[in-house]
Chains A and B, each alone.
Chain A
């Protein structure tokens, strides 16, 4: 199949999820989080920059709609904890904003757009330990594309997307990219 032009995104790539489907996936994840955490009383949503942060906010808003409770929501930058820093020139840092109440004794749900090697999540787990001791840490991702290099799995998955390693998955979100879509593109490199 040749790559479809995506008119909204102006990017090459086959659209695997459109805005409606992303919305439904997040709605389902929000329900699953409430179910698994017995009503979501003591949870904190932490997005991993860049695109995990708007996803975490959307999930928090969704949970607020369903249960009428305000879920604390923040962001956790993992750049300084990455294991591949020495492979590229130093990169700019993202924002870390944790709820004032801290994370001790809470269930932290990490939110990211794509789960791939698992290295970002490993870095996030390391970063979290410097902030306190959560009761439990869970992981929610919009897309799980496989090819894990570490023993890490997601608790909540928007869509399982079997990919080849030469493919590139782009998640576009209205807050950052002016549109909602998940695209898959042939990267050309093995």
Chain B
């Protein structure tokens, strides 16, 4: 594995499977009386969050704490960033405090990549602009493997997602989750289709390892997984669709659409949801929905990532 986790494209199939298999072993920790391992004792993980987040920040914090690392939470609000400090100066401050890993969320695509050049420790991308969110893709892959392959524990070891058909629906243009998922899921052997209005697909989508469709109803009967994306109105600077109601009619997952899915298919959403826009409340709360499971799997998967990045020698690339 590389020293940083910035893009899902950094992960080879073997790397990705190592993370999923490690997460599988760590999953049993949640059932133990003492949910803590001493592995990262004395190491410091900084959560550097320039954008609002609940589940990702809490998830990284819980993951680091369960591995006994010291966690420093930093959010842009109420910090020197509000006074105009640059990313580089913030990074150098963290560096001086001896951070072994920096988990960064930033509104600008590429910020984690820049940060990796300034700090000694490992950088983990927790979402940068409209670029990538690799740990979300990893936890989604983990959830799919558990639910659809019906495997957990030792039986799941080394198993990819070959032959599983995943349809990612909605605001692909603004979604870092979609990009990371397309890259990771295709690395793991899944067939990915994007279903979205043409205005919400990025220009370069033709070069992505996936198929593209404008018709959701056509894709549903052949999907094993439907992943609904949040309509990111805070990032929308133009009119991408006539109205929320029209979007919801054509690309929202309601009860009638869910009925078109095969019996075994699951419904995923990275959260936070706009109930009634991209997903109906009845669908979000149905037995097929893995939304709560995804949150629980997030902690496990992020523990695996932190362990694999920080658990070994300080500079693995020197020894290899």
Interface set, chain A 79-100, CB cutoff 8 A to B = 80-81, 85-97
Is residue A177 within 8 Å, beta carbon to beta carbon, of the partner chain?
A: no
A131 to B1, CA, bound (A): 31
Which one of B25-33, B84-92, B207-215, B235-243 is at the interface?
B25-33
A21 to B149, CA, bound (A): 42
Is residue B272 within 8 Å, beta carbon to beta carbon, of the partner chain?
A: no
For B26, what are the chain A residues with a Cβ–Cβ distance below 8 Å? 93
Do B38 and A96 have beta carbons less than 8 Å apart?
no
A85 to B68, CA, bound (A): 14
Do A95 and B33 have beta carbons less than 8 Å apart?
no
Q: Given A89-B320, A90-B307, A90-B312, A95 and B154 touching (CB < 8 A)?
A: yes
Do A86 and B314 have beta carbons less than 8 Å apart?
yes
Q: Tell me if A's interface is mostly helix, strand, loop or mixed.
A: loop
Is residue A105 within 8 Å, beta carbon to beta carbon, of the partner chain?
A: no
A-B contact pairs, 16 of them (CB 8 A): A80-B39, A81-B37, A81-B39, A85-B312, A89-B319, A90-B308, A90-B312, A92-B18, A93-B21, A93-B22, A95-B154, A130-B32, A130-B34, A130-B36, A131-B33, A132-B33
| B-to-A contact residues, CB < 8 Å | 1, 18, 21-22, 25-26, 28, 32-34, 36-39, 153-154, 307-314, 316, 319-320
Do A85 and B319 have beta carbons less than 8 Å apart?
no
For A129, the closest partner residue in chain B by CB is B34
For B33, what are the chain A residues with a Cβ–Cβ distance below 8 Å? 130-132
For A88, give its contact among B18, B21, B36, B313 (CB under 8 Å): B313
For B39, what are the chain A residues with a Cβ–Cβ distance below 8 Å? 80-81, 85
User: Distance in Å from the Cβ of B36 to the closest Cβ of chain A?
Assistant: 7
For A97, what are the chain B residues with a Cβ–Cβ distance below 8 Å? 28, 153
User: Distance in Å from the Cβ of B66 to the closest Cβ of chain A?
Assistant: 10
A88 to B309, CA, bound (A): 12
Is residue A112 within 8 Å, beta carbon to beta carbon, of the partner chain?
A: no
Is residue A77 within 8 Å, beta carbon to beta carbon, of the partner chain?
A: yes
A130 to B28, CA, bound (A): 13
Is residue A12 within 8 Å, beta carbon to beta carbon, of the partner chain?
A: no
B-contact 0/1 string along A90-130, CB 8 Å cutoff: 11111111000000000000000000000000000010001
Total A-B contacts with CB atoms under 8 angstroms apart = 58
Number of residues from A at the complex interface, CB < 8 A:
20
Q: Given A80-B39, A87-B313, A93 and B32 touching (CB < 8 A)?
A: no
For B34, the closest partner residue in chain A by CB is A130
A85 to B316, CA, bound (A): 12
For A85, what are the chain B residues with a Cβ–Cβ distance below 8 Å? 39, 311-312
For A91, what are the chain B residues with a Cβ–Cβ distance below 8 Å? 312
A179 to B61, CA, bound (A): 46
A162 to B39, CA, bound (A): 33
For A77, the closest partner residue in chain B by CB is B25
User: Distance in Å from the Cβ of A138 to the closest Cβ of chain B?
Assistant: 23
For B320, what are the chain A residues with a Cβ–Cβ distance below 8 Å? 89
For A102, the closest partner residue in chain B by CB is B33
For A126, what are the chain B residues with a Cβ–Cβ distance below 8 Å? 38
For A96, what are the chain B residues with a Cβ–Cβ distance below 8 Å? 25, 28
Do B25 and A95 have beta carbons less than 8 Å apart?
yes
Do A88 and B32 have beta carbons less than 8 Å apart?
no
A88 to B37, CA, bound (A): 19
For A87, the closest partner residue in chain B by CB is B313
A161 to B111, CA, bound (A): 57
For A87, what are the chain B residues with a Cβ–Cβ distance below 8 Å? 313
Do B28 and A88 have beta carbons less than 8 Å apart?
no
Do A90 and B37 have beta carbons less than 8 Å apart?
no
Do B312 and A88 have beta carbons less than 8 Å apart?
yes
Do B316 and A89 have beta carbons less than 8 Å apart?
yes
For B1, what are the chain A residues with a Cβ–Cβ distance below 8 Å? 90
Do B312 and A80 have beta carbons less than 8 Å apart?
no
A89 to B314, CA, bound (A): 8
Task: Please provide the 10 A-B residue pairs with the shortest distance between their CB atoms, ordered closest to farther.
Answer: A90-B312, A93-B25, A89-B312, A90-B311, A130-B34, A89-B316, A80-B37, A80-B39, A90-B308, A95-B154
User: Distance in Å from the Cβ of A57 to the closest Cβ of chain B?
Assistant: 14
For A77, what are the chain B residues with a Cβ–Cβ distance below 8 Å? 25
Q: A89-B320, A90-B1 are in contact. List 19 more A-B contacts (CB 8 A).
A: A77-B25, A80-B39, A80-B307, A81-B37, A81-B39, A85-B39, A86-B312, A86-B313, A88-B313, A89-B313, A90-B308, A91-B312, A92-B18, A93-B25, A94-B25, A95-B154, A130-B32, A130-B37, A131-B33
Do A95 and B319 have beta carbons less than 8 Å apart?
no
For B310, what are the chain A residues with a Cβ–Cβ distance below 8 Å? 90
For B315, the closest partner residue in chain A by CB is A89
User: Distance in Å from the Cβ of A109 to the closest Cβ of chain B?
Assistant: 21
Interface set, chain A 9-31, CB cutoff 8 A to B = none
